[in-house]
Structure 1
Amino acid sequence: MPRHCFALDLVDDPNLIAEYEAYHRNGWPEIKTSIIKAGVTNMEIYRTGTRLFMIMEVTGDFDFDRKEIMDAQNPKVREWEKLMWKYQQAIPWAKPGEKWVLMNNIYSLNNFI
């Protein structure tokens, strides 16, 4: 199953970080439904300090462009994303308006010779 990994930073404020984590512990059901409908089979987010790391496992026919269109047409997803920008900040090398930045896989134990 294909897997994609992303990075994003949080605003360096302990209260905002606590709020952000609370939102994710009690996520909106409409967001979960949207993620699943897009072809995401599993998603995990990890944090160290202000850096977030997301692992997204997807179906073989998952398409980033299709997900972007679906998200743009979903008012609840747009509301969620707008709310999350209160807590998030782009990593320094992100493109303008880009949130989660796709990471490059540089090592895999299974491919080690």
Structure 2
Amino acid sequence: MGHRYCLTLDLVDDKDLIAEYEKYHEAIWPEIHESIVGSGITNMEIYRFDMRLMMIMETDDSFSFEQKAAADAANPKVQEWETLMWKYQQPVKGALKGEKWVLMNKIFAL
């Protein structure tokens, strides 16, 4: 069956950095792609308005945020990517210290 999650994150307010960030996402590193699909994520899309990002993530039943975080922490290439991406990103209001993508609550469904 799987699940759908929506997450949010802000970018730094700099049009050149935003353009660089989008360029990286036109062709993510192969190791990042593998870490995503290998964790049980079956579809991922990121949308942007101004500095605000929204990620839609669909997963199979094997996915867990805890397992993904542990696998990412043990993967040097994922850590390299995350460190690089932090140049472009900033936490949304209310995020915990060090938290990047924040899970959004679903408030309506048709």
TM-score (norm 1): 0.95
The number of aligned residues is: 109
Unaligned runs of 5+ in 1: none
Counterpart position of 1:108:
109
Unaligned runs of 5+ in 2: none
TM-score (norm 2): 0.98
For the aligned residues, what is the CA RMSD? 0.5
Q: Which has the larger radius of gyration?
A: 1
- Which SS does the other structure have where 2:31 is aligned? helix
* 1:24-80, Cα deviation, whole Å (9 max, x unpaired): 002101100010011000000000000000000001121110000000000000000
- Which SS does the other structure have where 1:57 is aligned? strand
The residue correspondences of 1:4-43 to structure 2 (distance < 5 A) are 4-43=5-44
* 1:56-109, Cα deviation, whole Å (9 max, x unpaired): 000112111000000000000000000000000000110000000000000000
**Aligned equivalents of 1:27 and 1:101: distance in 2?**
21
**Aligned equivalents of 1:66 and 1:53: distance in 2?**
22
Residue identity (%): 61
